[in-house]
């Protein structure tokens, strides 16, 4: 009986160590970027993601359209308008010692077209290619601070 109790205690401690029981508030930043091959300019406010944009996408011009700060709490989705008829839903679904897990849902006229999970450490950014915009495309740059 003592072995079972010790094993149960150990399992419970591991569970509490690797998962968070209560969610803290996490600040997320969503930048909506217009990427095109019209000219060769990079918006100066995008200098922190300039290298990643060049590695992942083959555009010559990047311009910031929107910069949105979100306050996320556990399992409460926040809707972000991306483009006419398109929106993105960001939900904090997991919080660990040095990273957070966000569910990203991109919707077209309320119909989900992308549903993914991303894990971010504080200050890191993930880039997601988005819909067409003008003569180019939109790119979503999502980061978190906690």
Instruction: Read off the pLDDT band of 141 (50, 70, 90).
Output: very high
* Domain positions in the chain: 22-145
pLDDT at 57 over 90: yes
pLDDT at 64 over 70: yes
Cα 29 from Cα 27, distance rounded (Å): 7
pLDDT at 8 over 60: no
Cα 43 from Cα 92, distance rounded (Å): 29
- What mean pLDDT do residues 1-29 have? 60
Query: Which residue from 135, 27, 39, 133 is spatially nearest to 78, judged by alpha carbons?
Result: 27
What's the chain's average pLDDT? 88
- What's the pLDDT score for residue 76? 97
Query: Between residues 69 and 12, which one has the greater pLDDT?
Result: 69
Query: Is this structure's pTM higher than 0.75?
Result: yes
- What secondary structure does DSSP assign to the chain, as a single string? -HHHHHHHHHHHHHHHHHS-SSPPPEEEEEEEEEEESSS--B-GGGTTTHHHHHHH---SEEEEEEEEEEEE-BT--EEEEEETTEEEEEEEEEE-SS-EEEEEEEEETTEEEEEEEEEE-TT-EEEEEEEEETTEEEEEEEEEE-
CB atoms within 10 A of CB 9: 10
């Amino acid at each position: 009986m003592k072995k079972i109790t010790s094993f149960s205690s150990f399992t419970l401690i591991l569970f509490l160590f690797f998962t968070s029981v209560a969610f803290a508030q996490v600040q997320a930043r969503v930048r909506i970027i217009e990427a095109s091959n019209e000219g060769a300019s990079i918006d100066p406010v995008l200098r922190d993601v300039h290298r990643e944009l060049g590695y992942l996408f083959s555009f010559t011009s990047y311009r910031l359209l929107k910069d949105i700060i979100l306050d996320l709490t556990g399992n409460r989705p926040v809707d972000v308008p991306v483009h006419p008829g398109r929106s993105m839903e960001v939900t904090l679904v997991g919080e660990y010692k040095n990273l957070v897990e966000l569910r990203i849902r991109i919707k077209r006229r309320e119909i989900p077209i992308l549903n993914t999970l991303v894990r971010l450490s504080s200050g890191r950014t993930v880039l997601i290619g988005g819909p067409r915009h003008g003569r180019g495309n939109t790119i979503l740059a999502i980061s978190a601070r906690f």
